[in-house]
A and B are shown apart, each in its own frame.
Chain A
Amino acid sequence: MSLTRITQPDTELSHIQLPLFGCRVRAGFPSPADDFIDKSLDLNEFLIKKPAATFFAWAEGDSLRDIGITEGDLLIIDRSVERTQGAIVVAAIDGELTCKILDIRRMQLLSANENYPPINVSGKEDLLIEGVVTHSIKKHLPKR
C-alpha cells in the first residue's frame, strides 16, 4: 500500500484566529497600543485538547434536556478523557451511539429528563463507553 498524505481537520487544526486586544475597548480615541496585538485566539485549541482522540457528532432527542443538551447541538467527544462519576458520555447501546450521564457508583447511565429511566450497565461499562463529551455547542441564532 502506498503512503498517502491526507490533511485532516481534526489533527491539523484550522486556525481561525481572533485578535485579543491588550486594552479595554473605550469609545473615542483608539489606543496606539492596539497596534501591538498580544496573541491570537484559536477556538479549536480551546475546545480540543487531544485532536487525535476527538470526534464531533450531532445531538438528537431530548433526554438530556435538563442539563442543556438538546436536538441540533454539536457535541465534542474525546475518547482519551477519563470516565469519571457524573461525566457526560457517549456510549454504544445496542449498537447505537447514545449520550448519557455516567453514574459509576450505581453502574447506570442516567438521563436528564423525567421521561427517561436510567439504564443499567453493570459488568459491561468498559465495552460501552466510546468517549466523554467535553463540550456541547448550541446555536442561538434563530433558524431561518
Chain B
Amino acid sequence: MIALVDCNSCYASCEQVFRPDLRDKPVIVLSNNDGCIIARSKEAKKLGVPDLQPFFKIEQQLKKHRVVVFSANFRLYGDISNQVMTTLRDFSPRVEQYSIDEMFLDFSGMDLDLNDYGSLIKESLWQNVRMPVGVGIAPTKTLSKLANHAAKKIKSSGVAVLDSPVKWQWLQKRLPIIKIWGVGKRLSKRLNALGIHSVYQLAQADPGFIRKQTSINIERTIRELNGEACISLDEQPAPKKEIFVTRSFGKKTGSKEELLRHISRYAAAAAEKLRSQNSFCSSLYLFAFTSEFKPGFYSNSKVIKLPYPTSNSTIIINHAKQGMSQLYQAGSLFAKCGIGLLDIRDRNFHQYDLFTPGQQPATDELMCMIDNINRRYGRDSMTFGAEGLTGKWTMHQNRLSPSYTSSWLDLPRVNC
C-alpha cells in the first residue's frame, strides 16, 4: 500500500504555524510581486476567495472580509516543508518527496491498521510541525492521489483508505477524469470526446483502444486505477522532448526592445526547465504574432540552430534575441511570442563534438548557482540583464511575514 500525504493549503498553513491567532482566520498568500493569490486557508476558501485571481481585482473585497494577506515567504515555506518531510520519513523506510508539500510513503511489507496509521501520521504532523495534512492510502500511486482528494474533500478525519475495489470504484464514480494524476486539460478534453467523463469510465475502458486514441502513458494510468501498481516510488516522469514557454503580453507592444525583453524572459525560464531535467537542446523555435482579431495580422516563426548542444541560459537567450530580431516587423503590435527548445537530449547520453568546445564545467557551475539562488530565494531573485528589471528588484513584497526560522531577529516572541 502507498500513502500520499499532502499539506492542506500549504503556504497559508505555513503562515499560521507561528501565528496561533490566525489559525481559524481566512489567510491568503500572494505570488511574487503580490500578483496573484496562490494559497488560501480553509476559511478563505469558505469565504469563496478564488484561486489564482489577480490580487488587485479583489483587494477591496478581501479587506471587507478581513482576510489576512501575505506576500510569499518561500524561505519560511521551505523550512517548514523540510520539517514536514523529516517527520514523515519516520513512518516508512521508503519514501518519495513529490513536491514541496507532498510525499509518497510505501507501506509494503508493513503490517498495519491503515486507518490508525494514517491518523497517527496526521496527528504527528499537527503536533510536531503544526501542519494540517490529508492522508490518502491505496495500492497504487494514482489511487493514493485520488484517496488524498477524498481525505480532504469527503472524509472529516482527513484520512482515506481505498483498500478494496468497492471503495475505490465508489469514489471513481464521483470524480471527473481531470482529478486523475497525470491527466491534464488537453487529455481530459480528448477523453471527454470519446465519451469518457468519470474516473470510473476510464478505469473500465479498454486500455488498448484508449492508448491508440491518446497516449501510451494512459494504459499505465488505467491499470493503476484498477489497483495494479505500475508506477514505482522514486520514478520520475520521462524527460520532456520539447519545452515551450509562451505567453500573451498584458499589453500589446510595437517596441523591439520590449519584444526582446519578453523573449529573453521566456528563454531564461525555458533554459531553467531544461537544466532541471538534466538535458541539452540544440535548436530553438521562435515565434511571434499580432492579435488575430485586428487588421494587419502578422505571424512568423523561425528555427535557430545553436552552435553546440547546451543548457546555458546566456547562449539560449542570445540566440533567441537574434531570432526574434529577425521576426520583428516595425509597425506591428505584437500580442504574443514564445520559444520552444527542440532536439532535447539527456545529458547522460551526450556525444561530445571534436570541433566545438561544448559546454564548459564553469558554465555548469554558474548555471547551477543561479538555479540554486532562485530556488532558495524565490523565482526571479537572480535574472539576466536581457530580461530587463522586472524581477525581484522591482518586486512588491509589502506583506512579507517575519523570517521566523531563518533570522535571529525575526524569531517568534513569547510572552513570559
- Of the candidates A10, A61, A80, A94, the one whose C-beta lies within 8 Å of that of B416 is A61
Contact between A98 and B128, CB atoms less than 8 A apart: no
Chain A residues whose CB sits within 8 angstroms of the CB of B83 once the complex forms: 8, 10-11, 51-53
| Contact of B21 with A96 in the complex, beta carbons under 8 Å | yes
CB neighbours (8 Å) of A95 from chain B are 19-22
Once the chains are docked, how many angstroms separate the CA of A64 from the CA of B414? 12
Q: How far is the CA of A63 from the CA of B415 in the complex (A)?
A: 8
A residues in contact with B128, CB < 8 Å: 50, 52-53, 79-80
Chain B nearest Cβ from A124, distance in angstroms = 13
| B129–A97 CB distance below 8 A | no
Any chain B CB within 8 A of the CB of A23? no
When C-beta atoms are compared, the residue in chain B nearest to A92 turns out to be B20
Interface bin, chain B = 35 or more
Contacts of B411 in A (CB 8 A): 56-58, 74
B405 contacts chain A at the CB level, 8 A cutoff: yes
Question: B192 interface residue, CB < 8 Å from A?
Answer: no
Question: What is the size, in residues, of chain A's interface with B at 8 Å between Cβ atoms?
Answer: 42
Question: How far is it, in angstroms, between the C-alpha of A132 and the C-alpha of B309 when the chains are bound?
Answer: 56
For chain A, what secondary structure do more than half of its interface residues adopt (helix, strand, loop), or is it mixed?
loop
Which residues of A lie under 8 Å from residue B405 when comparing CB positions? 8-10, 55
Q: Does B87 contact A (CB under 8 A)?
A: yes
Query: Is there a chain B Cβ closer than 8 Å to A104's Cβ?
Result: no
Q: Which residues of B contact A9 (CB under 8 A)?
A: 79, 405-406
**B100 within 8 A of partner (CB):** yes
Q: Are A59 and B127 in contact (CB under 8 A)?
A: no
Whether the pair A99, B79 counts as a contact (CB closer than 8 A) is: no
A48 within 8 A of B: no
Cα A95 to Cα B24 with chains together (Å): 10
Which residues in window 79-104 of B have CB below 8 A to A? 79, 81-84, 86-87, 97-102
Q: How far is the CB of A125 from chain B (nearest CB, A)?
A: 14
> Hey, which bits of chain B sit against chain A, CB under 8 A?
18-22, 74-75, 78-79, 81-84, 86-87, 97-102, 127-130, 276, 375-376, 404-406, 411-416
Q: Can you spell out 19 A-B residue pairs with CB atoms less than 8 angstroms apart?
A: A4-B74, A4-B100, A9-B406, A10-B82, A11-B86, A51-B83, A52-B129, A53-B87, A53-B127, A55-B18, A55-B405, A56-B411, A80-B128, A95-B19, A95-B21, A96-B21, A97-B20, A97-B414, A98-B415
Chain A interface (Cβ < 8 Å from any Cβ of B): 1-12, 50-53, 55-64, 69-71, 74-75, 79-80, 90, 92, 94-99, 130
Q: Kindly list 4 other residue pairs between chains A and B, CB separation below 8 angstroms, not including A4-B78, A95-B22.
A: A3-B100, A6-B79, A96-B21, A98-B416
